[in-house]
Each structure stands twice: as structure tokens, then as C-alpha cells.
Structure 1
């Protein structure tokens, strides 16, 4: 027994020295939590609290600053690349700078904007709606000339425009407008003003974004109309047809067509304020019922008419 006891004590001594060398001989201050309950059964695992990385609420100040403007919205949302598209990109051959087409000159770009009318003039019904034989679902009720003469875009729509996309300034393109549209019209005030003047607009307010902002957002098709939708509408009204027509008509329908968001928003304002009659000139009530939405719709060739308002009162859904 004495020999066994001496061996046991020697083992204990060596083990202590080993623990000291490994620095794990410090006492444990708190025992680990028990995984069993008093009756011997295993405790259920504690649920971890999910931490949200983004706040789900915003203050009223922040919410107000994030309200949508009266600008256009992109037509096609960006899509995430799929595995197939990623594989195609990886397999694509490397293209050298010499293989790329040379950039178009200013002269080439300008020559591409020339056009001749290929469609008959539109007709106008007694209800004021403008009808295009080849696009029956495009039904504005304001002509481009009316929009210009009544006041639009703060008088700046045809001002000299520097395009970052094209890297040159476009100017004097208002001269393609028919002469009778410009008769007795102060071009410097109504078309080419360098400064946006809300007082020029029919409803006396500013709305929308600049053409530069439209260009930056990708809403301009530079192959056809460097100034955007209204320039397209002018040329479409005068008989030009191009590959961009379907897209532009679709954008009008989203804004001011039968179910267009701005048309419905404006009619809802009328109903919400209890207004049942539209003035003949379409102007006075616009100063009382959301002049900003009125001006926005005016830019998109639409004004509220009594039949539209009556129909919305009957079925505001």
C-alpha cells in the first residue's frame, strides 16, 4: 500500500505541473449552466433573439422626405443576373478597343434625328379626345400646341441642353415646330428660358424633374428624342412613327390613361374635397384641387373633363 500511495501522489504532482504549464489550472468562477431540470429531464434549448439589421419604422420627418415626386418612374426594373447569364458572360470572348465601333460624331447623331411624317393627322372628337387611327388606346385630350401656349415646363423645355450621354449641347430644335404653333408666342419665355419660371405654367406651380435628371435615370432614348416624352408626343402628333412609340404610349397610359396613377390621384382629390364640377377652362379648380398634380397631368397631355369626374364619382374604386 505504501508503494501504491507514493505512486498516486507522484501522479498527482505531475498532473498539477502539467496543468500549470498549460495554464488551465485556474479555478472556474461559475459552473456551466445545467442542461437538465430538477426532475432529470433535459431543458429545451433557449431561442436566440433575431436581430433586425434594418429598422422597420421611420420617423415622420424621414417619411415625409421620402415621398415620391411627380417624376416619371423607370419602365423596366433591374434584374439580378442568373447563373445562365453569368456563365455566358464568363464564356464571352475578350473584345479589344480596336474591335469596338467608333463613337458617332455629333453630325451623325443629328442626322439620325431627321424624320418625315408617315401617319395621317389625328382627329378630335366632340369630347375633346384626340384619336390616332393606328394607336386607339392612346387618347390624350391636349394637343402639343395647347400645352405650349397654356404654359408648361416653366418655359424651359427647349432651352439649350447639354447631354452628358452625347457629350454635346442640343439647341434650336424648337425650330422644327410648325410656324403657326409659334405665331405670337414669346419663344424666350415659353420655350427657351434658361430659368424655370413656375408662373409660366398653366397652374402656376413647379413639378417634375429636369431633363438632365431624366437622362441620368435612363428615361431618354437618345436615338429618337433627346428631350424625352413631350418631344416624342410633338413628333408623334405631327405624324412621325418610330420604334420607341410602344414604350412612350405605355408610359402615358401608366401616368394618365384610364387607370393611370396621376389621373386617378387627381380624380381622388376631387372626390375627397367634394368637388363635382369641372370648370370649362379646366384652370380655376386646378388652383384649389392639387395644382401640382394638375400641372403634371397637363405635361402628359391630359386635363380632367366632366365625364371623367362623373364616372369617378360613380365608381371611385
Structure 2
């Protein structure tokens, strides 16, 4: 019994030594892994949105942000030969200069006139008054008998004298749509509206002048921007809403009245 225990012990020690030799010859299959340190995730985007500053009024133009500058219009104005004039029954006709033929619109224009340019010009200058000037109530509101829902509180003369367009509304205007330059159409206005005003300052200035404006600010959009946006009904008023208002006040009535009054 003692002999067998001694043999077992000897075999056991022999096996341990053999195993130790084998372990020394075998490379470990799993390398030591250093524990990872937690780092902030800088690549992921924050789910929080940045605070959005309050929006400016929707009618604010690009000129308001740069009121210190004075935009100069008609940098790309093209002048061609004179187009035929129509004879205005209300006053002197608009003076227009014709650019190259509408069938060859040239660079910078992607729209062709809706009808013959001479007919359009004639439409501006040959209308006759159909209504009387409006009446004004004690609150200062104007009332037009033909359109009772239209109740403005400023007359065209007041708007002009308060410098609402920085003195540039009636400047020479090149229409990219019609390919003509329109000028001197301010002369169709009643003489009393512009009496005593410096025409170059209050009507035909090439640059918008904020100091001409009653409130000393630059506001609104240029006629070129209105035309590009498709807001001009060229067959009626190439300069847009205020020109329509002047003619409406003087008694003209046209198919564009409803649209303009709804603006």
C-alpha cells in the first residue's frame, strides 16, 4: 500500500513538470486587453436645436438690412430705339425707348411679352377717366363710389410727398419682360401732386435715398424684384401697385382693379 502511494506521488510530480514544460512552450491565445476609458462622443450631433432668433417682418426687404447703402438701379439697363408713343387723354404720355425686338430677347431675359409691345404702351397712355376722385371722411379714410370696399387713408400725392419710395419710384425703368426702357411717365400725374418738389430728389432719383423717406428708413422692394416675382401686370401698369393706385385715383378703371385692391 505504501509502495503504491509512493508511485502515485512520483507520477503526479512527473506529470506536473511535464505540464509546466508544455505551458512554457505554448503562447497565450488571448492577449491582455487594457480597460477602455470612457470618452465623450464628439462625433454625434446634438438632438437639441439651436434657438432661432425672432423673424423680421415678412414684408421687410433686403434693403432694410443695408439701409446705409443706396441701391442704384438699372445697372443692366439697355437702351434701344424709341418706341411709338400713344396719345394720353389724361395727360402727357409715357416716354419709352425700345430695346431689340421681343422675338430676340437677348441675355438676361427668359420671358417674352404677352402681346405686341406697341399695343401695351398704347394701353398705358390712351385710357380715359371713368370715375370721379374719392371722398374723404372725418377719420381720414377715402371712399371710392365704384369700389366701396377699397378704403385707403393716404392719397397718391401724400405718398409721393412723404418720400415713400426714397425718391426713386419714377426713375427710368428697364423692363426685362418688355425689353423697353420707360421714363418720364411721372408727367401724367396731376401737376398739383408734384408742385414744389425737386423731381430729381422725390421722383426720378437713380438711388434710393432713406433721408427722403418721411421716417428716414429704406423699405420695400425694387420694381425689378416685383417684375422678377411675377407681380407686375405689364398690360396695365409696368411699375406695379402704386402706379395702378395713381391711375385708379385719377379715374381709370381696368381689369386689374380687383387684384390690386386685394393686395
TM-score, shorter chain, exceeding 0.5? yes
Match of residue 152 from structure 2? 140
- CA shift at 1:56, angstroms? 10
* Pairing of 1:182-261 with structure 2 (within 5 A): 182-251=194-263
**From 168, 175, 184, the counterpart of 1:163:** 175
Q: Per-residue CA shift, 1:134-179, capped at 9, x if unaligned?
A: 1111111110001111211111000011111111111110010011
**From 46, 60, 84, the counterpart of 2:52:** 60
Relative to structure 1, the CA distance from residue 67 to residue 117 in structure 2 (aligned partners, 3 Å threshold; closer, same or farther) is closer
In the alignment, the residues of structure 2 paired with residue 135 and residue 70 of structure 1 have an alpha-carbon distance, to the nearest angstrom, of 29
What secondary structure is seen at the aligned counterpart in 2 of 1:162? strand
- CA shift at 1:205, angstroms? 0.4
In the alignment, the residues of structure 1 paired with residue 165 and residue 197 of structure 2 have an alpha-carbon distance, to the nearest angstrom, of 15
Relative to structure 1, the CA distance from residue 108 to residue 200 in structure 2 (aligned partners, 3 Å threshold; closer, same or farther) is same
Match of residue 60 from structure 2? 70
- CA shift at 1:67, angstroms? 6.3
Given that 1:117 and 1:239 are in contact with CA atoms closer than 8 Å, whether structure 2 keeps it comes out as yes
**From 92, 113, 117, the counterpart of 2:124:** 113
In the alignment, the residues of structure 1 paired with residue 243 and residue 134 of structure 2 have an alpha-carbon distance, to the nearest angstrom, of 17
- CA shift at 1:68, angstroms? 2.9
Given that 1:152 and 1:190 are in contact with CA atoms closer than 8 Å, whether structure 2 keeps it comes out as no
- CA shift at 1:110, angstroms? 1.1
> Which runs of no fewer than 5 residues in structure 2 stay unpaired?
1-46, 62-102, 104-111
Structure having greater relative contact order (Cα 8 Å, sep ≥ 6): 2
Q: Per-residue CA shift, 1:183-226, capped at 9, x if unaligned?
A: 11111100100000011111110111111001111111001011
Root-mean-square deviation over aligned CA pairs: 2.5
Given that 2:113 and 2:178 are in contact with CA atoms closer than 8 Å, whether structure 1 keeps it comes out as no
Given that 2:164 and 2:213 are in contact with CA atoms closer than 8 Å, whether structure 1 keeps it comes out as yes
In the alignment, the residues of structure 2 paired with residue 102 and residue 128 of structure 1 have an alpha-carbon distance, to the nearest angstrom, of 40
Q: Per-residue CA shift, 1:93-138, capped at 9, x if unaligned?
A: xxxx9xxx99755433211212110012211111111110111111
Larger radius of gyration: 2
Relative to structure 1, the CA distance from residue 59 to residue 216 in structure 2 (aligned partners, 3 Å threshold; closer, same or farther) is farther
Which structure has the highest helix share of the two?
1
What secondary structure is seen at the aligned counterpart in 2 of 1:212? helix
In the alignment, the residues of structure 2 paired with residue 220 and residue 153 of structure 1 have an alpha-carbon distance, to the nearest angstrom, of 17
Match of residue 123 from structure 1? 135
- What count of residue pairs does the alignment treat as equivalent? 167
Given that 2:113 and 2:177 are in contact with CA atoms closer than 8 Å, whether structure 1 keeps it comes out as no
What secondary structure is seen at the aligned counterpart in 1 of 2:160? helix
Relative to structure 1, the CA distance from residue 194 to residue 245 in structure 2 (aligned partners, 3 Å threshold; closer, same or farther) is same
Q: Per-residue CA shift, 1:206-250, capped at 9, x if unaligned?
A: 111111001111111001011111111000011000000001111
- CA shift at 1:180, angstroms? 1.3
Relative to structure 1, the CA distance from residue 57 to residue 111 in structure 2 (aligned partners, 3 Å threshold; closer, same or farther) is farther
Relative to structure 1, the CA distance from residue 104 to residue 130 in structure 2 (aligned partners, 3 Å threshold; closer, same or farther) is same
